[in-house]
C-alpha cells in the first residue's frame, strides 16, 4: 500500500493506493501548521487500515517554498572564487559576500591559485558579522573541485562548528551565478528542513508507520527522507510535478499530451512528450532568483474557475485574481464558473444566481449568449498559452544540426484536465486545439495520486578529460584518475553504471544495469596541431523516470 500526500496552498490531499487502485482519499485544510494538516489527511485515509501494510509514503510539500517566500531562513555568508569574466557588479546575491583570488578554467585547470592569507582575513570578517553558515562557490568548480574543497578545509580548521556548503555539490551544472543561488538556498534552508523532516518522521513513528518515507522533487522524482535534507531546494515546486505525475498515472501511456490543472485562480499547464513529462531546459526561478534546480516545464496561467470577470465597455475582461467563490456559490462577483453553470456544463451552485451573474455583466435577456462569450474567452486564453508552450519548447536553443532539424511540429493529441475547474472547460480547450479530452476519475486528488506513484530517480554524471588524465563524478564530487589514453565512452559508461547502481542500492532502489537510461552523451576529440590529443567525455545516466504504475478503475472516489 502506498500513500501520497500533497500539501497545497488551500488543501492538503492524501490518497491511499493498493495495487494501483485508489482505496481512499481525503482532504484537510492546509493550516499554519503544515505538520498537523499532513497528519490529519494521513489519519483520514488510514482509517481502519493496519499501518504495517504500508510500504511507502510520499510527500509533496510547500515547506521550502514557504520558507523561502517568507525569508524565514538562516543567514548565510558567501565566499566566491569567480576569477576573470563577468564583472562582479552584476552579482547581486543580497548577503554578505567576499570575493577571493583563484581561477579554474573551462577544462578544470587551475590558472590562478588560492591566496590563503586572503582567505583568513575573509573568514575573520564573516565571524565578526556573526555568520555560522558559509557557502564556498567557485567558477568552473564542477570541472575541478580542489579550490572549493581546500577552502572548506580552511573554514573547518578555523571554525569547526560552522556549516560549509560546496558549490559543486549543490549546483553541478555550468552556470556560476545559478550555482551561487542554489548553494545559498541549500545552506539557508537545510536546518529548518531537517527539523521539519524529523517532526514528520517522529509523527509517523508515533502512528507505527514504518513504511519508507520519501519526498517529491520538482522534477517529479523522489528521494528518501534521510537523504533529502541534503538538497532541500530540490523539493520546491513539487506541487505541479505532483499533478503532472498524477495525470500521467490516470491516463494511458505513451501519449503527447497537455495537462491542464484548472484551479480557482490559476491554470497550471504541463507537457507530456511521448509519455514523459517535459523537464524545463533551465533551472527553476525561486523568488525571482535563477537556480539550477531541475523542474518540470510548467506554466501557470492566471485564469481559473473563480477568476474575477468585469465588463469594460463592450468587452468582458478576465482579471488574474480571485475574490472568493463563484457568484452562484455565494461569491461576490461573476466568474467563469457562473458561465459554466448557465450553460449546464457544471452542476455546482445555484442556477438563478448564475443567471444573475450574467446579468451583472450586462446581458439581461440572453444569459446564454454572454456565458458562451465568457467560455470562449477562457478557452482562448488557456489554449493560446498551450500553443505558446509548444512554441517555446520548439524555440529552445539547440546546439546540434539534428536537434534543430527534428524539433519541428510536435503537437499534443490529448488534453488531460485535472483540478476543480476542469469539468466543462477541458472539452472546449481540446476542441479548440483539435485534441481529444480526458478528465480522469479522481482528477480532484490527482496531486496526491502523483505523489503516491512518483518514482525515486537518481542520476550520475561523469566528465572525463583524457588529456588531463582524470574524471569527475559530479553528484558525488568524486575525482578519479584515468590511466590509459584509450579511455573511451564505453569505459565511462561502465563506471557510471556501476556507481549509479551502488548509489541506487544505498537509496533502497533495485535497478538493473539495462534499465539505466543515458540522458546526455557528448564526446569531443581534442585536436591540437592536426593530432588527436585526447577526448572530452560528458555522460549522464539516470535510473528510470516516470511513475510506479497507472491507476486502474475501481475503488471509490472520496
Partner 1 sequence: MRCKQTGLIFFPAFDWAISPTHPEREERLLYTRDQIFEEGIIDLPQIAEFTPQLASIHDIARTHFCVPQVESQTTEAHLIAAGAAITLADQIVAGLIDNGFALVRPPGHHAMRVVHGNRGFCNINNEAVMVEYLRSRHGLKRVAIIDTDVHHGDGTQDIFWHDPDVLFISFHQDGRTLYPGTGFIYELGGPCAYARTINIPLPPGTTDDSLLYIVDNLILPVLEEFRPDFIVNSAGQDNHYTDPLGSMRITAQGYARLTEKLRPDLAVLEGGYAIETALPYVNMAIILALAGLDYSNVREPDFWPGRFKETSQRTEQLKRLVDGLLKHWKNRDTTLTGRGKTVNGYYEREKLIFYDTDYIEEHQTEKLRICSNCTGYLSIESEVSHGFGQAGKVLCLSVPFGACSKCRNEAADLYTGAKKSVVYNYIYLQDKSSDYLLGYDTKAGKEWRP
* Of 313 and 397, CB closest to partner 1: 397
Cell numbers that stand for 351 in this block: 442556477
* Of 91 and 159, CB closest to partner 1: 91
Q: At closest approach, how far in Å is the CB of 281 from partner 1?
A: 10
Task: Check if the beta carbon of residue 191 is closer than 8 Å to that of residue 216.
Answer: no
* Of 177 and 417, CB closest to partner 1: 177
Q: Phi and psi at residue 97, in whole multiples of 5°?
A: -130, 135
Q: At closest approach, how far in Å is the CB of 545 from partner 1?
A: 24
* Of 365 and 531, CB closest to partner 1: 531
Q: What angle do CA 429, 434, 437 make, to 5 degrees?
A: 55
Task: Check if the beta carbon of residue 558 is closer than 8 Å to that of residue 24.
Answer: yes
Rounded CA-CA distance 540/308 in Å is: 46
* Of 70 and 402, CB closest to partner 1: 402
Task: Check if the beta carbon of residue 456 is closer than 8 Å to that of residue 222.
Answer: yes
Q: At closest approach, how far in Å is the CB of 23 from partner 1?
A: 46
Q: What is the end-to-end Cα distance of the chain in Å, rounded? A: 17
Q: At closest approach, how far in Å is the CB of 299 from partner 1?
A: 18
* Of 59 and 390, CB closest to partner 1: 390
Task: Check if the beta carbon of residue 6 is closer than 8 Å to that of residue 447.
Answer: yes
CA distances, 221 to each of 123, 243, 413 (Å): 37, 13, 25
Rounded CA-CA distance 81/101 in Å is: 6
Q: At closest approach, how far in Å is the CB of 404 from partner 1?
A: 6
* Of 483 and 529, CB closest to partner 1: 529
Q: Cα–chain-centroid distance for residue 350?
A: 38
Rounded CA-CA distance 464/467 in Å is: 9
3-state secondary structure of 58: strand
Q: At closest approach, how far in Å is the CB of 141 from partner 1?
A: 10
Q: At closest approach, how far in Å is the CB of 470 from partner 1?
A: 17
* Of 376 and 521, CB closest to partner 1: 521
* Of 120 and 403, CB closest to partner 1: 403
Rounded CA-CA distance 552/22 in Å is: 8
Q: At closest approach, how far in Å is the CB of 472 from partner 1?
A: 14
* Of 109 and 195, CB closest to partner 1: 109
Alpha helices, DSSP H only, in 50-174?
63-69, 116-128, 146-158, 167-170
Q: At closest approach, how far in Å is the CB of 137 from partner 1?
A: 12
* Of 399 and 483, CB closest to partner 1: 399
* Of 36 and 173, CB closest to partner 1: 173
Task: Check if the beta carbon of residue 416 is closer than 8 Å to that of residue 429.
Answer: no
Cβ-based neighbours of 320, under 8 Å, separated by 6 or more: 265, 302, 303, 307
Rounded CA-CA distance 537/531 in Å is: 18
* Of 88 and 478, CB closest to partner 1: 88
Cell numbers that stand for 173 in this block: 551544472
Q: At closest approach, how far in Å is the CB of 135 from partner 1?
A: 16
Q: Beta strand pairing status for 77-81 and 56-60?
A: unpaired
* Of 99 and 343, CB closest to partner 1: 99
Q: At closest approach, how far in Å is the CB of 131 from partner 1?
A: 25
The b-or-e profile of 497-509 (16+ CB within 10 A means b, else e) is: bebbbebbeebeb
3-state secondary structure of 10: coil
Alpha helices, DSSP H only, in 7-95?
34-45, 63-69
Q: At closest approach, how far in Å is the CB of 81 from partner 1?
A: 12
Q: Which of the 8 DSSP states describes residue 385? A: H
Q: Cα–chain-centroid distance for residue 307?
A: 26
Q: At closest approach, how far in Å is the CB of 108 from partner 1?
A: 10
Q: What angle do CA 2, 297, 15 make, to 5 degrees?
A: 20
Binding residues vs partner 1 (CB under 8 A): 84-90, 103, 105-107, 111-112, 139-140, 174-178, 282, 290, 394-402, 404-405, 522, 524-527, 529-532, 536
Q: At closest approach, how far in Å is the CB of 182 from partner 1?
A: 12
Task: Check if the beta carbon of residue 97 is closer than 8 Å to that of residue 78.
Answer: yes
As a dihedral over the C-alpha atoms of residue 432, residue 434, residue 440, residue 443, rounded to 10 degrees, the angle is -30
Q: Which residues make beta-bridge pairs with 465?
A: 470, 536
Amino acid at each position: 500500500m502506498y500513500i501520497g500526500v500533497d500539501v497545497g496552498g488551500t488543501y492538503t490531499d492524501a490518497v491511499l493506493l493498493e495495487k494501483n487502485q485508489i482505496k481512499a482519499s481525503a482532504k484537510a485544510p492546509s493550516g499554519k501548521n503544515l505538520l498537523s494538516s499532513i497528519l490529519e489527511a494521513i489519519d483520514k485515509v488510514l482509517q481502519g487500515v493496519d499501518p504495517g501494510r504500508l510500504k511507502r509514503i510520499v510527500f509533496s510539500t510547500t515547506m521550502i517554498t514557504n520558507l523561502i517566500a517568507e525569508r524565514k531562513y538562516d543567514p548565510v555568508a558567501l565566499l566566491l572564487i569567480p576569477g576573470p569574466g563577468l564583472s562582479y557588479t552584476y552579482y547581486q546575491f543580497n548577503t554578505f559576500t567576499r570575493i577571493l583570488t583563484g581561477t579554474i578554467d573551462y577544462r578544470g585547470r587551475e590558472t590562478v591559485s588560492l591566496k590563503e592569507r586572503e582567505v583568513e582575513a575573509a573568514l575573520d570578517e564573516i565571524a565578526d558579522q556573526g555568520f555560522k553558515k558559509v557557502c564556498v562557490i567557485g567558477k568552473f568548480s564542477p570541472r575541478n573541485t580542489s579550490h572549493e574543497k581546500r577552502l572548506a578545509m580552511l573554514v573547518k580548521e578555523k571554525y569547526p562548528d560552522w556549516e560549509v556548503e560546496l558549490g559543486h555539490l549543490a549546483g553541478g551544472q555550468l552556470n556560476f551565478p545559478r550555482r551561487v543561488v542554489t548553494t545559498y538556498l541549500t545552506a539557508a534552508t537545510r536546518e529548518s528542513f531537517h527539523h521539519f523532516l524529523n517532526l514528520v518522521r517522529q509523527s509517523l513513528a508515533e502512528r507505527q508507520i514504518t513504511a519508507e518515507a520519501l519526498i517529491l522533487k520538482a522534477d517529479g522524482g523522489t528521494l528518501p527522507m534521510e537523504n533529502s535534507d541534503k538538497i532541500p531546494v530540490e523539493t520546491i515546486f513539487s506541487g505541479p510535478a505532483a499533478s503532472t505525475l498524477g495525470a500521467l498515472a490516470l491516463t494511458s501511456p505513451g501519449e503527447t499530451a497537455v495537462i491542464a490543472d484548472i484551479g480557482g485562480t490559476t491554470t497550471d499547464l504541463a507537457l507530456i512528450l511521448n509519455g514523459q513529462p517535459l523537464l524545463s531546459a533551465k533551472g527553476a526561478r525561486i523568488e525571482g532568483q535563477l537556480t539550477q534546480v531541475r523542474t518540470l516545464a510548467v506554466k501557470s496561467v492566471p485564469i481559473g474557475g473563480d477568476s474575477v470577470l468585469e465588463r469594460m465597455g463592450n468587452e468582458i475582461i478576465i482579471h488574474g485574481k480571485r475574490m472568493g467563490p463563484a457568484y452562484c456559490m455565494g461569491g461576490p462577483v461573476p466568474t467563469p464558473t457562473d458561465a459554466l453553470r448557465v450553460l449546464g456544463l457544471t452542476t455546482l451552485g445555484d442556477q438563478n444566481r448564475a443567471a444573475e451573474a450574467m446579468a451583472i455583466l450586462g446581458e439581461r435577456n440572453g444569459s446564454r449568449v454572454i456565458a458562451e462569450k465568457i467560455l470562449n474567452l477562457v478557452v482562448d486564453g488557456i489554449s493560446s498559452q498551450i500553443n505558446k508552450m509548444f512554441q517555446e519548447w520548439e524555440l529552445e536553443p539547440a546546439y546540434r544540426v539534428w536537434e534543430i532539424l527534428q524539433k519541428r511540429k510536435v503537437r499534443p493529441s490529448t488534453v488531460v484536465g485535472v483540478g476543480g475547474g476542469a469539468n466543462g472547460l477541458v472539452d472546449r480547450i481540446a476542441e479548440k486545439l483539435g485534441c481529444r479530452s480526458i478528465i480522469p476519475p479522481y482528477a480532484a486528488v490527482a496531486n496526491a495520486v502523483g505523489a503516491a506513484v512518483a518514482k525515486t530517480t537518481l542520476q550520475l554524471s561523469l566528465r572525463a578529460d583524457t588529456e588531463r588524465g582524470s574524471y569527475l563524478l559530479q553528484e558525488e564530487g568524486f575525482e578519479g584518475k584515468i590511466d590509459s589514453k584509450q579511455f573511451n565512452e564505453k569505459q565511462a559508461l561502465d563506471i557510471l553504471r556501476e556507481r549509479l547502481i551502488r548509489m541506487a542500492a544505498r537509496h533502497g532502489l533495485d535497478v538493473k544495469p539495462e534499465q539505466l537510461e543515458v540522458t546526455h552523451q557528448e564526446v569531443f576529440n581534442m585536436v591540437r596541431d592536426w593530432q588527436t590529443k585526447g577526448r572530452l567525455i560528458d555522460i549522464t545516466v539516470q535510473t528510470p523516470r516516470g511513475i510506479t504504475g497507472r491507476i486502474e478503475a475501481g475503488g471509490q472516489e472520496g
